[in-house]
Structure 1
Amino acid sequence: MRHRAPTRRTVLTAALAAAVLSAGCTRHDTSDDGRAPHDSQAPDDSQAPDGQRTAGTGSVLAVKIDNVGAARPQTGLDSADVVYAEQVEGGLSRLMAVYATKLPGVIGPVRSARESDLELLRQFDRPTLAFSGAQRKLLPLIDRAPLRPETPDAASDAYYRGSDKPAPHNLYLRPAKLMAGAPGEAALTTGFRYGPASAGGTATATRTVRYPAARFTFTWSGGEKRWLVSMDGTPARTPAGKRVAAATVVVQHVRVRTSEFHDVLGNHTPFTETVGTGKAEVLRDGRSFEATWTRRKAGDGTTFTGADGSPVDFAEGQVWVVFAKS
């Protein structure tokens, strides 16, 4: 809850990895090809109304979002309360956007789920997970997880194919077809605290986190009082051209191990461990604060403390959490 201040075939060229992982996925398809059943070319929904902030009831909406170059600009990313960035096959990245205080009219492009998502989402009370599908052997784990899975197979009227991008990078979600409204701030049981910045910290103009075939850069804007997001060296923007910006950025150093699940070429999926403890950097207000993150069990949120053991508070607004290999 928000607290106020107070084995082998892994050697691929980057180009081949991008090409293979550019294929999306359906619930019953191991190829990760993302095709929405019975809806090959629905019209672009650029006229969908913006979501409204509402008290709402229930739990959060989590959406797996495509993050290769062909999927950008993403739609609805700027409305998320929290954006998680994780490494996937081939050293590429994928996003999970979490919505509680506002549901935009459209979100996407939507892509497939990973095993790490199940552990990450345990911090929420039966969240709705919107995704295009998953590797076949992972599906039983998703079905047993304490969440509400929603794929194009299960909710075909909630998804459509846009005309703005080539498949599989054009599968979009209308969240109003899944949820009556935003559940509200109380659903954000992340363990994050929000309040004035602590004393100290290190003045920081920019911070980059690199994966083998992807990178995230956050640049402080004193005018906007936000960290401007760039991905793979390109400024992240909304479809309307507005820069995507975070109030707080967390670089969370985690253990990344090999999952038993893999893509069609046999490349095993990295599993990002988000339960445990480790080092972190919290970026806010143009400064970086060293911290320790702790999540004792899957049902807990994640807390961040400074060297003296006191909580490290976040700035009000969107939070980006980038998982970096320890």
Structure 2
Amino acid sequence: MGGRRRARGRRAVTTALLAAATALVMAAGCTTSGGTPDDGRGHDSGTARSRGPEQGSVLAVKIDNVRAARPQAGLDAADVVYVEQVEGGLSRLMAVYATRLPEVVGPVRSARESDLELLRQFDRPTLAFSGAQSKLLPLIDRAPLLARTPADSDGAWFRDTGRQAPHNLYLHPDGLLPSPAGRAALTTGFRYGPAPSGGTAQDRRTVDYPSADFAFTWSARRHRYLVDMDGKRAVTPGGEPVAPATVVVQYVEIRPSEYQDFLGNHTPYTETVGSGKALVLRDGRTYDATWNRPQAAGGTEFTAPDGSPMTFAAGQVWVVFAKR
């Protein structure tokens, strides 16, 4: 009983702080208007799944990425951020946490079929999401992951009353995991090290989806890439820029899945097993690369044109899945 009171108190304090920080960013000119109807038919519900805190597992969180969801909380703490296309040509993020857990992550939204294949590279990852289409839930139940929704994780979730639903569901990661899994759990296949030779000097790179766009601008002062989403700088609720050290534009097959949103549109399926071309942005230079992931239960290797391993800069990595 006392634990629930503490959780309620923490939610109230966090909601107030989050709302205050968001207000400061909005006052500085950060756009948070617009949005899209909720496309997760689970509507913050889920089937009963295994419970209890889990150790040794990376945490993957599905994060909303329409204008009404920004600025998102916890993006800056992620080790890897995946960008995927969803219905209507919009985008959604999956943030993966292994080395540290932020106080708050969100807004959290629904899962997609593609997530199950993408997450097979990790050993029993914890997937936090708001819900999913009812026909997809059995696949999630059978997937080798630990699914967590507000329905089965009491005390870890809260609503920010200063935002409109469905863009106001947030997560306290320490309500799901007692501690970060550690870098060894980050089995993405990425290699980190000094920059390879070659590449092309390039300060800015853009990636366009049908209804969303991204720009990555090299900051020599920060030695990081500044992220623009739909023409606005991506920042934390406190106003600090989200700044990955490496950006990967991975060209993949994006096809209609068997599942539909509430309007009857087929949700896109992003194929992350296979091989193809990629661009790797690091240290203000762009490198041509090839990606290869022969099986789902393994990470993705990136190689340079001469066949040598492509190395990433130390720090956060963004992987943007672009249509081949």
**What's the TM-score, normalizing by structure 1?**
0.85
2:69 aligns with 71
Aligned-partner Cα distance in 2 for 1:115–1:24: 13
How many angstroms apart in 2 are the aligned matches of 1:100 and 1:192? 14
Q: What whole-Å deviation, never above 9, does each CA across 1:15-50 have from its counterpart, x for those lacking one?
A: xxx75x43263xxxx2x64589xxxxxxxxxxxxxx
1:122 alignment partner, SS class? helix
Residue of structure 1 equivalent to 2:311 = 313
Q: Is the 8 A contact 1:216 1:231 kept in 2?
A: yes
Whole-Å separation in 2 of the counterparts to 1:71 and 1:22 = 12
Note if 1:22 corresponds to 2:20. Answer: no
C-alpha contact (below 8 Å) 1:24/1:34 kept by paired residues: no
- 1:210-262 Cα distance to aligned partner (Å, 9 max, x none): 00000111000000000001101100000000000010000000001110001
- Preserved CA contact (<8 Å) 1:227 1:247: yes
Q: Which residue of 2 aligns with 1:158?
A: 156
Identify the match of residue 169 of structure 2 among 154, 171, 183: 171
Relative distance call for 1:159 and 1:24 in structure 2 (3 A) is farther
Q: Distance in 2 between matches of 1:306 and 1:156?
A: 46
Unaligned runs of 5+ in 2: 1-33, 47-53
Aligned match for 2:182, one of 158, 181, 184:
184
Number of equivalences:
284
2:316 aligned with 1:301, yes or no?
no
How much has 1:157 moved relative to structure 2? 1.6
1:265 pairs, out of 251, 257, 263, with: 263
Name the amino acid aligned to 1:227.
Answer: Y
Report how far residue 207 of structure 1 moved: 0.5
Shift of the 320–225 alpha-carbon distance from structure 1 to 2, 3 Å rule, reads: same
2:246 aligned residue (235, 245, 248): 248
Q: Aligned pair 1:216/2:194, yes or no?
A: no
Query: Deviations along 1:256-294, whole A, 9 cap, x unmatched?
Result: 111000101100000000000000000000000000000
What residue is the counterpart of 1:282 in the other structure? 280
Whether the aligned pair in 1 keeps the contact of 2:80 and 2:319 (CA below 8 Å) is yes
CA distance in 1, matches of 2:214, 2:137: 30
Spell out, residue by residue over 1:175-218, the C-alpha distance to the aligned partner (whole angstroms, 9 max, x if none). 11100100100000000000000011000110110000001110
* Contact preservation (8 Å) 1:35, 1:168: no
Q: Post-superposition shift, 1:164?
A: 3.0
Match for residue 124 of structure 1?
A: 122
What one-letter code is carried by the residue in structure 2 that aligns with 1:128? T
> What corresponds to 1:45 in structure 2?
none
AA matched with 2:38: A
- Provide structure 1 residue ranges, at least 5 long, that are not aligned to the other structure: 1-17, 37-55
Residue 100 of structure 2 corresponds to 102
**Could you tell me how far apart the structure 2 residues matched to 1:262 and 1:225 are?**
41
Match of 2:85 in 1: 87
Measured in 2, the distance between the counterparts of 1:58 and 1:303 equals 23
Opposite residue 37 of structure 2, the aligned amino acid is S
Distance 2:71 2:246 in 1: 21
Aligned twin of 1:195 = 193
One-letter identity of the residue aligned with 1:316: A
For the residues of structure 1 that align with 2:214 and 2:301, how far apart are their CA atoms? 23
Query: Quick one: percent identity of the two aligned structures?
Result: 67
- Give the distance between the partners of 2:59 and 2:287, measured in 1 at CA: 29
Q: Is the 8 A contact 1:293 1:303 kept in 2?
A: yes
Question: 1:51 aligns to what?
Answer: none
Give the equivalent residue in structure 1 for 2:142. Answer: 144
Q: Is the 1:75–1:108 contact (alpha carbons within 8 Å) kept by the matching residues of 2? A: yes
1:8-47 correspondence runs (5 A): 21-23=36-38, 25=40, 30=41, 33-34=43-44
> Relative to structure 2, which stretch is displaced further, 124-133 or 162-171?
162-171
**For the residues of structure 2 that align with 1:237 and 1:156, how far apart are their CA atoms?**
29
CA contact (8 A) 1:24 1:168 kept: no
TM-score by length of 2: 0.85
